[in-house]
Every structure is written in C-alpha cells, then in structure tokens.
Amino acid sequence: MGNQTLCQADINDIQLQAQNQNKKMKVNQVKQFTKFNDDQTGKQSLIVINSQEQQQISLLNEWLECLHESVLITQFDHKYNTTTNLFSHIDDENQINDPKTSIIEQQDLCEYKKNYPYCNSILDIIIINFYVLKKYEFISKLIKGPPKQRIRWSCWQLMVNIPNYYIQSDHLSFIEEDQKQTSAIKKDTHRTVSTKDIKYFETSQGKKDLEIVLIKLSKLFPKLGYCQGMNFLASFTLIINNKNITQSLQFLAQMMINPKFLVYYLYLEEMPLLKLLEFICQQEIKFKLHDLHNHIYIKLQVQNAFWLTKIIMTLFLYNFHINNVCRLWDFIIATNIFQMSAIICSFLEINKNQIFQMDDLNEFVIWFDKHQNKEIPYKQMENIISKSINYTINIEKINSYANLYCKGHSNNHPIQVEISKNYDKMTQLKNFIKTDIFD
C-alpha cells in the first residue's frame, strides 16, 4: 500500500512538472512573439506597477498564458468584417464566425488598424483577439489589474475605442499663438498629475506635450473647448503611455464620445453628466450605506463640492495617488463611468469606522484630502476593487436613476433625457452623440 501511495505521489509530481513546463513554454512563446521584454518596463510608462516583485511576475505569467491562445489567430474573416460586427453595439453577445487559425503575421497589423486605429504592435493584436475570444475573462482580468503598464494601456485603448469611428486629428496644427485656449491651458499645466517620482510636467518639454494634447483636443471639440479638469486626464494618459501624444489625444477623444464614458458631457458648460453622476452616487450611498449617508450629509453637513465634485471632474486624479488611480481606472474602463458610484460606496464602507468617529466637516475634508499624496496600500486597494464589484449598478438601474433625476429637476439637458430613455440602446445613444457634438 505504501509503494502504491508513493507511486501515485510520483505520478502527481510528474504531472505537475509537466503542467508547469507547459505554462512556461506558453509564456516564453508569447514573450518571444510579442517581443515583450521584462527589462524594458521603464520604456513602457513613466510609472511602474506597484506590487511585490514575485507577485508581479506571477501576474504577468498568468496574463501571458491567457494570451497564448490569441497568438494562434489573426484577424477574423476580413471580408465578413466580424470584428466590426462584434463591436457594432456595446456589450453585445454576437458569436465569433470562422476564426482563421494561423500565426499572426506583421501584415495583419494593417487589417487590424482598419477597425482599431490605435493598434500598432503584435501585442495590441493579441489583446484584441483575447477580448473577442473570451470577453468576460478579459474584463475580469482587467478589473483585477494588468501586471504591466504596456498591457494596461493596450487594454484601455481597446475598451474606449469605437470601431469604424476614428477621429481625425492629424490635420490639426499646434500653434503657440492660438491664444484663445493656450492662455487658459498654460495656467493649468502646473496644476496637474504629479508625484515625487514624476516631475515630467515641470520640464519645458512636458509642459509642451501637455499643451499640444489639450489644444488639439479643444480643436477637435470646438463647442466644448478647454475646461479645467481635462489637464488631469491628459497628463495621466501621457504618464501611462510614456509621452505618446497621438495616442493620448485619440484615447481622450474616444472617451469624450463613447456612450460608456460620455466625458464630453462631464465638461460641457452645464455639466450635465457631473450633476447626474453626483445624484446617482448620493442615491447609492443613501440606499446602500444609509447610516453613513446620514452621518456624512446630515451630521457633518458635507457638501458634494468638497469631495464628490472633485472626484468626478478629474476621475479620481485630483484626490487620489496616481498608483491607486491606475486600479480605479481599470475598473471604470472595464465597466462604465457610472460605476464610479460603486467605487465610492466601497471606499466609504472600508473607511466607515473612521468616518463615524468624525464630529465636524473639517475633519472629513482633512481626512479626504490626505489621500492625494498618501498611497492606499496594495491589499486595501484590492479590497476596494473587490467590494466595488458588489456595488455595481446595471444598465436598467442607470436608466431608472436618470429618469428619477429628470423628473425631479427642470430644464434637463438633452443628454440626461437621452440616458433616461436609451442608455440600454447604445446605437441610438451613439447616433444622438454624433449629432449633438458634431452637427
């Protein structure tokens, strides 16, 4: 009996070794094929992933193993244009048709760029394939956090991209004498994302890059122009993608008009999305964290302008450490901008004991503002993301909240009305956005 047990243990060890060798082979193949060099982290982003080295290596290998299957297909049937079909509606359930099973070749890059203009590497192609093949696994892994900024940036670009809707920006000039926007932008270049390790926007070249992105963005959306808060978003993207002006501009332009994010309406003069998001966040806190809501809004007399407005206008960048914002954006980009309410509820729940001990408004403001320079520890940050999943609101709930807001307010902006009617009908919403912004 002892020998039999020993033999079975040996068999288990052999099987485990074979599995590990197979995983290692897949990881090495993807690294070799994508030219993904572990030693070039500094060239991928101005910041690195903030986690323990062994944990980071494990996460990276897990991601690369998942990407292995996506190496084996190129674009789907180009004539049938399956990729466009898959993305014709946000979050649709179309099935994949006739995948081509051969190793990706460099010339396939041109075909991918027709639907994904940002795509400029084999790694981008493979990540697109991963999403198309295993959408929900992809979203789950994005929420858990990519192990490298290069992978993160590729995932983010994919999720904000609207296929067949490339916004032309190559023709836009950058003229320093364009005083209409430049003077306002120059005032804000020093008030932007910065940490003790990143001083790029304190240099003349960093300020110049940021100005180029913001001036061109204002020219792309002339009815909007430049607004305070955009400087945080622009500088953050330049940090993540290692100063790629063209990709930052296209990424922000897509976020402006993508129905999942609607950032254009966050900065519009009437700020219709800001008002709606503040309403939704406060309602979610009230119904899901009732005692905490009463303590914050009734006992402490906290007004949204002290915290919620800042969070929403800068998508967390004004009040949270940049390393933490990376993870918060993973969650928002994997879902939609309305899930900011889920993150906020999760954040408040985790800190509720500390909040309940506060006796006045000043204590709350000081406590909240300290998160700007003090990074939330890794484990606590992952706990916030994990709990956020439990607080997510579905599309029907978003419709319902928008409808409730419109009934309770007069002179509603058309986008608020449109969300209350058609947030579950993305095609109609996309058509409205095109007409409203570019007419």
**Amino acid 282: pLDDT:** 96
Q: pLDDT tens, 349-385?
A: 999 999 999 999 999 999 998 888 888 998 999 999 9
Give the distance from CA 216 to its chain's centroid: 21
**CB-hemisphere CA count at 13 Å for 302?**
25
Which residue stretches of the chain have pLDDT < 70? Answer: 1-6, 8-20, 36-56, 71-108, 164-181, 189-197
pTM of the model: 0.85
Q: pLDDT tens, 159-212?
A: 999 876 666 665 566 555 565 667 777 777 666 665 556 777 778 888 889 989
**Amino acid 8: pLDDT:** 65
**Amino acid 310: pLDDT:** 93
Return the amino acid letter for 167: I
Give the distance from CA 116 to its chain's centroid: 17
**Amino acid 295: pLDDT:** 96
Contacts with 251 (C-beta within 8 Å, 6 or more apart), sequence order: 118, 156, 157, 160, 237, 241
**Amino acid 49: pLDDT:** 57
- Using an 8 Å Cβ cutoff, are 331 and 143 in contact? yes
**Amino acid 110: pLDDT:** 75
**Amino acid 96: pLDDT:** 36
For residues 116 and 295, give the distance between their C-alpha atoms in angstroms, rounded to a whole number.
47
DSSP state of 321: -
- Using an 8 Å Cβ cutoff, are 155 and 142 in contact? yes
**Amino acid 344: pLDDT:** 97
**Interhelix angle for 245-257 vs 149-160, to 10°?**
40
**Amino acid 52: pLDDT:** 57
Contacts with 376 (C-beta within 8 Å, 6 or more apart), sequence order: 320, 321, 324, 384
For residues 167 and 221, give the distance between their C-alpha atoms in angstroms, rounded to a whole number.
11
